[in-house]
Amino acid sequence: MRGSLIGIVGPTATGKTAVGIELAGRLDGEIVSADSMAVYKGMDIGTAKPTPQEQAEAVFHLVDVVYPDEGFSVAEYKRLAEEAIADVLRRGKQPILVGGTGLYVRAVTGGLNIPAAPPNRELREQLKAEASQFGNEVLLDRLRAVDPETASRLHPNDQKRIIRALEVHALTGLPISHFHRTAGTSEVAYHARMFGLTMSRPALYESIEQRVDQQMRAGLVEEVRALLDKGYSPGLPAMKGLGYKQIASYLMGEYDLETALELLKRDTRRFAKRQFTWFRAEPEIQWVDVENRNPGETADEIVSLLKRPKGM
């Protein structure tokens, strides 16, 4: 069964969730999250997860799926997202894919071919030991030699993805970027209309500043402290996410709170730039300028665009 799917994507702090909620109200829709951090239970403020009020305004899927110390792969996301979308379509509702994790979006809309390379614990432990002894940069240099495309997108601190990319290459002989570019063997099940939210760089950076300040007022430090008190290691992939890594380092005495906030804002700006680069390379995305607009006005424009043939 082919169905209609609407996607709302773009960099962090562009208001994707608010626009998604407005669209859900106009189109009798339900939101399928495409956010790699929103899947973690107990991580609400730092992930900018939909608030209880927002979740009362629209139905959300793939939020609060696993605990922070549980693994969650792109393949698992793809399976759960496709199940959720099929369920929404079966009930006669409009599925709306909302999020900024490009790989998750492509897994659903682009027939992403997930590498047929099951985790190899022995290899992973070997690579982790090397990183512990020599640093993540050594592994990233090795990845640059076999998969420069993937290496260019990864930060040295993103040990999990660096190791996974090296693992895929070792087990398949192909770079993981090959699988990311290649359509899967099965037909994509949806006719997708994808919309990217954009604004000027100064406006985006101001929005990021405001978001971080709001997260601090909402209790980000207390949220991270509670996670550490529950025994969640700062080395977990989930705890390496924006906000959690910087605040955990502050709580462990590595630097003061002012430095933590400066690093968080800087790292978020860099992350947003990488998101722009990823989504700008997707030709199917229609871009909508959201600067000086409220979410309702943006939703109205998207509804208007949906009434026109794609590209007009």
Paired tokens of 92: 């006669």
Cα 22 from chain centroid (whole Å): 21
Confidence of residue 123 (pLDDT cuts 50, 70, 90): confident
- Give CB contacts under 8 A, 24+ apart, made by 256-262: 257/221, 261/212, 261/216
The 285-289 sheet, strands edge to edge: 60-61, 29-33, 94-98, 3-9, 190-198, 285-289
Q: CB–CB of 86/51 below 8 Å?
A: no
Q: Residue 186 has what pLDDT? A: 46
Q: What is the CATH number of domain 121-181?
A: 1.10.20.140
CB atoms within 10 A of CB 132: 10
Mean pLDDT of all residues in the chain?
91
User: Residues 248-267: pLDDT tens digits?
Assistant: 999 999 999 999 999 999 99
Paired tokens of 128:
């982790």
For CATH 1.10.20.140, list the domain ranges present in the chain. 121-181
Q: Which residue is it, tokens 């897994």?
A: 107
Higher-pLDDT residue of 247, 157: 247
Angle made by CA atoms 125, 46, 236, in degrees to the nearest 5: 10
Nearest to 16 by CA among 50, 67, 53, 46: 50
| pLDDT, tens only, 57-109 | 999 999 999 999 997 888 889 989 999 999 999 999 999 999 999 989 988 99
pLDDT at 23 over 50: yes
pLDDT confidence of residue 185: 42
Specify the pTM. Answer: 0.81
Q: Is the pLDDT of residue 184 over 60?
A: no
Q: Does residue 183 have a pLDDT over 70?
A: no
State the number of CA atoms in the 13 A half-sphere of 89 facing the CB.
Answer: 16
User: What homologous superfamily does CATH list for 3-112+183-306?
Assistant: P-loop containing nucleotide triphosphate hydrolases (3.40.50.300)
- Name the pLDDT band for 207 (thresholds 50, 70, 90): very high
| More reliable by pLDDT, 184 or 100 | 100
Beta carbons of 188 and 111 less than 8 angstroms apart: yes
Q: Given pLDDT bands bounded at 50, 70 and 90, which one contains residue 16?
A: very high
Quickly state the pLDDT bin for 231 (edges 50, 70, 90): very high
Which residues make up the CATH 3.40.50.300 domain(s) of the chain? 3-112+183-306
